[in-house]
Amino acid sequence: MKVQYLTNEVAVAFFQKLRSLFRGGAGTDDAHVLIFYVRCNRCGEVIRVRADRRWDLLQELGDGAAGYSLHKDVLGTQCNALMRMLVLFDGTYRITHQEIEGGRFVTPAEYEAFQRSRDQGASGRA
């Protein structure tokens, strides 16, 4: 009887395939992800908030208009101020209303600018 051993390439490919089965494959989550950017009123930190349409949204039934709602508590790393986010969607996941307590919604560009300024500040201290 002849024993064959797996090559490293075959073993790596096998485990990558196995991992993708448990994770749902590459890129499958992107279609279900909603991203919001919020700025804390207390400290000014800009936070990227990720929500998944499959798990984080509640279906709203009643008043003849079906839709979804997202209730999310957001806590940054710079202070302990809790922001409470509420976003309402229609049946096709278009935003119909959004509000936040303790912060405000900002654009992706504002988030990127905040990240750059924070990175520059960190590199200046090093």
| 49: its two tokens | 């908030």
Model confidence over 22-65: pLDDT tens digits? 665 545 568 899 999 999 999 999 999 999 999 999 999 877 77
Note the pLDDT tens digit of each residue in 72-125.
Answer: 999 999 999 999 999 999 999 999 999 999 999 999 999 999 999 988 877 766
